[in-house]
Structure 1
Amino acid sequence: MYVRKQPKVVIIGAGIAGISAARRLVDAEFKDVIILEAANRIGGRIHTVKFGDGDMPIEMGANWIHGPTVQNSTFQVAETIGALQPYRINNRMSARFMREDGTEIRREIVKEAVHIYNKVMDDVYRTLPRERIKNSRIVTMAPLIYECLDKEVKKLEQNEDYIEDMKRVLNAMLNYSRFHEGEELEKVTWEKDIEEYNVPDGGDVHIPGGYVQILNHLMKTVPKESLILQTEVVNINWENCENEQLKIKTKNGTTFTADHVIVTSSIGYLKKHCETLFKPLLPEIKIEVLNSMALGRVDKIFLEFDTAVLAPTYSSVAFAWDDTTIGGDSSKWYKRIFGFDQIFTKNKTILGWISGDGAEYMETLSDEEIGKTCVQLLRQFLGNKDIPNAKAVLVSRWCSNPFVLGSYFYQTKTMIPGEQKILSEPLTTTSGKPVVMFAGEALTNCCTHGARDSGIQQAEKVIDLYQGKSLEAKL
């Protein structure tokens, strides 16, 4: 009779999925847990940094907790550690919608336009699944949205000026949907009513002191020596793992061994490297699912000024463009900017949102050029030529980040709803032991709490294998 030794578990990626998996294993008294992180920091697409006036940080990546309810595991942690003070729920529709000539669109027009837009989006979410079933065709959101908006506007019995302003607000809302969905709407198809994509109700809550507080709390019980930064994994050899440990090779030449590996790399990274990352290759069905998934393109633009630019008059301004068409003209990248928000913990620092083709092209420009263009836009849309140049500019570049290659998951035309479950199923030995597992936000939904939950779920598969009877001696 012998007692099986505790397994060695290697977690690839120190985002919230990987950290949550490690925390769950450590809490279950697993002693041999290692996290390998390619970057020089923890967090993945959670990236809290110091920037701008005041002491509070800003978020380069994940910005809110979506759905502040007890069903949201991330919200539970934030509430437990007191990270939500001062508590603030984001209200996107409180924005002031500004014309290109620097004047503001009347609130009654904005209110009606937003009402129409929300109605159309609800109809589109319901129509997409029916289109699949009824007509055996896959459609993206764009044509349905454009068609439905056009019909609604034609119903209005208003003068030409009212209609033109209505169209401007709707153009702004299209940019809102592009950064909300994470991509150009011509690429996105969505089956919102299936379980994987449901987000808890309650709005979007901002964490004043930064998402990093949640990461640091989860890491408290994880031994410091368990985290190894700047260590990119280039190959996971799960061949002959029935009787041998897996071998994990890194770019710096180090090799680790493990009984189980939990992979939390982004979908963008897995898509690019899947043919070299695994030996033997992933099963063909997993590669097909992986190739059908995608990360969108969303970035942030932070501008700090010597004096307040938006506050106290504006909490948020939306750019109500006459036309948001970019086409193949990359010089019009700025037309994908929805607008700018006053960061509520700061007075002189604002945040702009950009998505899709505009975001990817913007990443090729210098911070100086981006800042200069954005200040020109603010002067134009706010009708104030005296707005000074930005004191400092900080821009996210998630599309070109080699360890991420995108922002957040969206459903493509080639993806079958729910098939990410196929990717989340572990690679097993012939006896059925899970040896390579997958976790991340795209395997559950596009939120940090989904990523956290998936990391915990994969850790629990390992725990279930070794607790109870699994820890008993084999005869």
Structure 2
Amino acid sequence: MEDIDLLELGSYTELQGGNISLPSGYSSILEPISRNIPHDKVLLNHRITSVRWKLKPCIPEEPEEDKEQESDDSDKTVVDINETQDINSDYIVIKCENGAIFHTRSVVCTLPLGVLQTESKLFSPSLPRNKQESLQRLLFGTVNKIYLVYQRPFLEANLSEILLLWNDDERNCKSKNLSECWYKKIYSFAKVSDTLLLAWISGEEAEYMESLSNETIAETCTMILRKFLNDPLIPNPKQCVCSRWKSDECTRGSYTAMRVGASQLDIADLAQPVCINTPTGLKPVIAFAGEHTHSNFYSTVHGAYLTGRTAAQLLVSHVFAEDTHNELTVECNDTDLSSWIQNMAL
């Protein structure tokens, strides 16, 4: 808790009602949202290595040694473009690890906050300075799940969750070595089914857990259960499956929180698109979306969904207005998820 800004706790909006369990996982949400998108337009295994923006059309790319230089406009969200440049030309070149290259006039960046914090050289030139500073002020924490699968039921039928409460002597590590006390950050074991338990762990301890084998984690969890249930016959799980969000290079953490010194203004800065100033007005070239760009619903799936729609609608209104024969139309009922969720944030 010492990492969280208490003054910003009220910035998060809690929706009414409880959590919703999706039996089929998030695919049950993705399917209706993406059913109108042609399958050949969704490209998997295209890990991006560089995003070169603010390029002058029809001019060869700069030499490799110039790629890491900061833009003269690195402290601006709006940059200027010469009037002689073709405003309908491609401004962005995206390169992928598999060798694929894409040229585009605009892009929606949905990279997680943790990736944006660690991959500073992904954009060339660098993102505007105010965005870089906001990126570093926000906290991208780590929360991991530990699933324990058992051969047979062993908990009482009326027991749904085991909450762990260590006394002060046991809870406080006598050394800074996480190997001796990482497991004391596990705060509960929830019964998903008679033979499946779910444990939660967060913070530095969750990051340390990611360096351990599943076998070591399973043995440690068994030790905890035997201790708190006072039963030396608690069986070992037949399988242990853990999430490892921090070490995953595509996430680098779980979700956004307000670090001490951060505020909603930092999220607002991240949400602002990077635009170019053309003779016909402002033109967004990089729009940003994700849970870290919603000032009320950060750390949530609905925050990511809403900002994704906002970014897409921004580009539709600017880009496709210039090219009507490629206009994209998606039918959407006014009573859908976004309409009532957005009202909660007002």
TM-score norm. by structure 2 comes to: 0.78
Q: What residue in structure 1 maps to residue 114 of structure 2? A: 268
Q: 1:384 to 1:458 in 2, by over 3 A?
A: same
Report the Cα distance in structure 2 between the residues aligned to 1:233 and 1:468, rounded to whole angstroms.
Answer: 28
Instruction: Give the number of the structure whose residues are more often helix, by fraction.
Output: 1
Q: Does 1:285 align with 2:130?
A: yes
* Structure 2 residue runs without a partner (length 5+): 57-80, 326-346
Q: Does 1:198 align with 2:10?
A: no
Report the AA paired with residue 9 of structure 2. Answer: K
Report if the CA contact (8 A) 2:5-2:261 is conserved: no
Q: What residue in structure 2 maps to residue 214 of structure 1? A: 29
Q: Does 1:438 align with 2:283?
A: no
Per-residue CA deviation, residues 174-214 of structure 1 (Å, 9 max, x unaligned), is xxxxxxxxxxx1211141333xx212121222222322211
Report the Cα distance in structure 1 between the residues aligned to 2:262 and 2:104, rounded to whole angstroms.
Answer: 32
Report the Cα distance in structure 2 between the residues aligned to 1:266 and 1:273, rounded to whole angstroms.
Answer: 11
Report the AA paired with residue 269 of structure 1. Answer: V
SS in 2 for 1:204: coil
Return the match for 1:459 from 292, 297, 312: 312
Report the AA paired with residue 198 of structure 1. Answer: T
Report the Cα distance in structure 2 between the residues aligned to 1:263 and 1:469, rounded to whole angstroms.
Answer: 21
Report if the CA contact (8 A) 1:336-1:354 is conserved: yes
Residues 108-127 of structure 1: matches in 2 within 5 Å?
none
Q: What residue in structure 2 maps to residue 328 of structure 1? A: 176
Report the AA paired with residue 106 of structure 2. Answer: H
Report the Cα distance in structure 2 between the residues aligned to 1:251 and 1:214, rounded to whole angstroms.
Answer: 29
Report the Cα distance in structure 1 between the residues aligned to 2:49 and 2:321, rounded to whole angstroms.
Answer: 35
SS in 2 for 1:378: helix
Report if the CA contact (8 A) 2:52-2:125 is conserved: yes
Q: What residue in structure 2 maps to residue 248 of structure 1? A: 94
Report the Cα distance in structure 2 between the residues aligned to 1:216 and 1:250, rounded to whole angstroms.
Answer: 26
Per-residue CA deviation, residues 418-464 of structure 1 (Å, 9 max, x unaligned), is 32111111111122100111100011111000000000000000121
SS in 1 for 2:10: coil
Which stretch shows the higher mean deviation, 429-438 or 452-461?
429-438
| Aligned length in residues | 283
Report the Cα distance in structure 2 between the residues aligned to 1:418 and 1:428, rounded to whole angstroms.
Answer: 19
SS in 1 for 2:102: strand
Report the Cα distance in structure 2 between the residues aligned to 1:329 and 1:405, rounded to whole angstroms.
Answer: 22
Report the Cα distance in structure 1 between the residues aligned to 2:228 and 2:29, rounded to whole angstroms.
Answer: 37
Report the Cα distance in structure 1 between the residues aligned to 2:145 and 2:256, rounded to whole angstroms.
Answer: 17
Q: What residue in structure 2 maps to residue 365 of structure 1? A: 212
Per-residue CA deviation, residues 77-100 of structure 1 (Å, 9 max, x unaligned), is xxxxxxxxxxxxxxxxxxxxxxxx
Report the Cα distance in structure 2 between the residues aligned to 1:214 and 1:417, rounded to whole angstroms.
Answer: 28
Question: Displacement of 1:360 after TM fit?
Answer: 1.0
Report if the CA contact (8 A) 1:315-1:342 is conserved: yes
Report if the CA contact (8 A) 1:192-1:198 is conserved: no
Q: Does 1:188 align with 2:4?
A: yes
Q: 1:469 to 1:405 in 2, by over 3 A?
A: closer
Report if the CA contact (8 A) 1:259-1:435 is conserved: yes
TM-score norm. by structure 1 comes to: 0.57
SS in 1 for 2:127: coil
Question: Displacement of 1:416 after TM fit?
Answer: 2.9
Per-residue CA deviation, residues 248-292 of structure 1 (Å, 9 max, x unaligned), is 011222211112100000000011112x11121111111111111
Report if the CA contact (8 A) 1:286-1:422 is conserved: yes
Q: What residue in structure 2 maps to residue 259 of structure 1? A: 105
Report if the CA contact (8 A) 2:47-2:97 is conserved: yes
Return the match for 1:319 from 141, 161, 164: 164
Q: Does 1:340 align with 2:189?
A: yes
SS in 1 for 2:25: coil
Report the AA paired with residue 93 of structure 2. Answer: K
Return the match for 2:272 from 425, 428, 446: 425
Report if the CA contact (8 A) 2:137-2:266 is conserved: no
Per-residue CA deviation, residues 32-78 of structure 1 (Å, 9 max, x unaligned), is xxxxxxxxxxxxxxxxxxxxxxxxxxxxxxxxxxxxxxxxxxxxxxx
Q: 1:240 to 1:351 in 2, by over 3 A?
A: same
Question: Displacement of 1:468 after TM fit?
Answer: 6.1
Question: Displacement of 1:470 after TM fit?
Answer: 7.1
Q: Does 1:300 align with 2:145?
A: yes
Question: Displacement of 1:469 after TM fit?
Answer: 8.0
Report the Cα distance in structure 2 between the residues aligned to 1:234 and 1:259, rounded to whole angstroms.
Answer: 18
Q: What residue in structure 2 maps to residue 352 of structure 1? A: 199
Q: What residue in structure 2 maps to residue 450 of structure 1? A: 303
Q: What residue in structure 2 maps to residue 402 of structure 1? A: 249
Q: What residue in structure 2 maps to residue 238 of structure 1? A: 53
Question: Displacement of 1:240 after TM fit?
Answer: 2.6
Percent sequence identity over aligned pairs? 31
Report if the CA contact (8 A) 2:138-2:266 is conserved: no
Q: 1:380 to 1:318 in 2, by over 3 A?
A: same
